Structure 1
């Protein structure tokens, strides 16, 4: 047994058996009928029986599913920056995190469209408690981030995950996606948690972290949705935090959020991949000789890349103007777009519109405030 067995994705030799075990599951049938509405069940089942690798499953099935999601719930996906990447090189993509499934799925679709290596992606084990979801995630090259551990277990788990990602990147030439922080950004303020970088650095075992990070070929990624399909679902947690209360998730809350993110309206979506961090790491190494300070500085460099390249939409400018009772950005949107956004605000928040209004607007307005630190928007 490999020491990575309880967190890794399936090997290709395990794919066919895993597919055969879930192909009759009601959720698999629902996914396939959504993806291939005009295809007879026997046809896609036969195709699944002939699938023996993760890549084949991703390209022939999951890629098609994501295209259907885009077709049904968005006004399209645009990308920028991919031309800077080498098709044969593995990268560590560190991304802002807005949607549980789509952030990494859309990045993989974009990588495939640009002829690049698709990623192995981190996913919290709390999201795949059901055996079907666990199998589907491992078939989609997800590896597990263990949640709810004691401090000692967390240390061991973090070290194992660090070693696994390093193994994927350097031994298997497999790109990796990881979010810049645990959990999705709920308030629109995308920030890299230094703890994520400390976890990554565990695999360098006390050696200088700068050469280690250079080996990983870190690429910051910004993803922005014109409408966040889970915006209203994020409100209760933001309210609890604002009132200094401990937020306790409802049963099945993660699953509801996962589904809402997939089927909810997103309008336009944009993914930008930043520059590979290289000279920036040299500068950090020259300026700081303490690894903690180096990690703090690296977190700031990643933030600078993500925030400065984040695509702003009319919804962001509308929210800023509504929140600050101004018309500063009125040239960035039409009255119709403003009316649609205000209607969404009322529909999503219902009777609680007054209580939750500012939090909802701040979620969309904060990316404008953050981008203003880098340029005139």
Structure 2
């Protein structure tokens, strides 16, 4: 058995067998009824028989699922920056992270519609403990990031992950998506964890750090939802963190979050592909010789791009003004939009709890705060 078998997605020759094994699973049936509401069961069962690769599955099935999600739970998806990308080039998309499944699903729909290479995507193995979801993840080109390992195993796991990502990018010519941090940014603060970059660098060997990162063709990706359908679900963990308490998830919490993210109202969504990091990395090489300083600077460059290109919807400005009891950004929203957001706030949390209310508002307002800080530093 190959050492990557514990983390890799399915090879194409494994796809048809895996798909047929779960074809009649109740969760697959529910997914297909959502995807093809006007078709009977024989339609997708026949489709499955003729699917023999991940590309087949994504093109013929999953792309329709994502379009249905957009039709039923959003006011539309807009994009920018993808016209700069080449269809034959593998990129490393380093992205802010809001939704467990939807972030990568939307990216791949955009790549598909633009004739660009779809990604292999990193997902925490803690999120796919359910056997059906594990198979579905591997059918959609997700590879596993092993979580909660004993300390002695963490280093070897990180090294394996780094080598696998590098192999996908450089040998398989496959684009890769990875979040800028472990887990979703539940408070709206999109900052890159240096540990992610250290993990990626492990595959570099003797290659100078900056040359290695240039070879990855890093594209910072900004994903912005007007409404976060999982906003209220994120609050218990945020509140526990604010009280320095350990947060324990319910057994079905991640699955509930996945469903809420897919089916909950998002209104408008925007994805922006930033410029490929190149000149920025050369500038870092000219300023710093120390590797830790270089990694810090790379993280900052990624953050700057993600924050700069993050679409600030009216909800973000409304939350900022409500949080700070000001009308500083009132020109960015209407009275009706503000009333709608306030109604949502009342419906989703106990707004008489000031701490809870402020945490909810900060989740939406922090991107505004961070962009304002960025503008002040320019």
Gaps of 5+ in 1: none
C-alpha deviation, 1:191, in angstroms: 0.2
Change (3 A) 1:328 1:141: same
2:87 is matched with which residue? 87
Once the two structures are overlaid, the 10-residue window that deviates more, 240-249 or 163-172, is 240-249
**2: CA distance, partners of 1:117 / 1:299:** 25
Aligned partners of 1:208 and 1:291 also within 8 Å: no
Aligned partners of 1:187 and 1:363 also within 8 Å: yes
**2: CA distance, partners of 1:203 / 1:363:** 35
- After TM superposition, the score normalised by the length of structure 2 is 0.98
Query: Does residue 260 of structure 1 match 2:260?
Result: yes
Once the two structures are overlaid, the 10-residue window that deviates more, 279-288 or 71-80, is 279-288
**1: CA distance, partners of 2:357 / 2:40:** 46
Query: Does residue 277 of structure 1 match 2:277?
Result: yes
Change (3 A) 1:351 1:286: closer
Q: Write the mapping of 1:102-117 to structure 2, written as runs, cut at 5 A.
A: 102-117=102-117
Query: Does residue 192 of structure 1 match 2:196?
Result: no
2:165 is matched with which residue? 165
1:312 is matched with which residue? 312
Aligned partners of 1:163 and 1:203 also within 8 Å: yes
1:145 is matched with which residue? 145
Aligned partners of 2:351 and 2:357 also within 8 Å: no
1:99 is matched with which residue? 99
**2: CA distance, partners of 1:311 / 1:89:** 26
Once the two structures are overlaid, the 10-residue window that deviates more, 249-258 or 360-369, is 249-258
Once the two structures are overlaid, the 10-residue window that deviates more, 22-31 or 244-253, is 244-253
1:133 is matched with which residue? 133
2:357 is matched with which residue? 357
Q: Which whole-Å deviations, capped at 9, do the CAs of 1:95-131 have from their partners, x for residues lacking one?
A: 0000000001100000111110000000011111111
C-alpha deviation, 1:352, in angstroms: 5.7
- After TM superposition, the score normalised by the length of structure 1 is 0.98
Aligned partners of 2:192 and 2:299 also within 8 Å: yes
Q: Write the mapping of 1:1-377 to structure 2, written as runs, cut at 5 A.
A: 1-350=1-350, 353-375=353-375
C-alpha deviation, 1:273, in angstroms: 0.4
Aligned residues: 376
**2: CA distance, partners of 1:221 / 1:163:** 22
Q: Stretches of 4+ moved more than 4 A in 1?
A: none
| Aligned partner of residue 77 in structure 1, secondary structure | strand
C-alpha deviation, 1:241, in angstroms: 1.0
Q: Which whole-Å deviations, capped at 9, do the CAs of 1:157-192 have from their partners, x for residues lacking one?
A: 110000000000001110000000000001111000
C-alpha deviation, 1:285, in angstroms: 1.1
Aligned partners of 2:317 and 2:333 also within 8 Å: yes
- Cα RMSD, aligned residues only: 1.0
Aligned partners of 1:345 and 1:353 also within 8 Å: no
Q: Which whole-Å deviations, capped at 9, do the CAs of 1:137-166 have from their partners, x for residues lacking one?
A: 000000000011011211111100000000
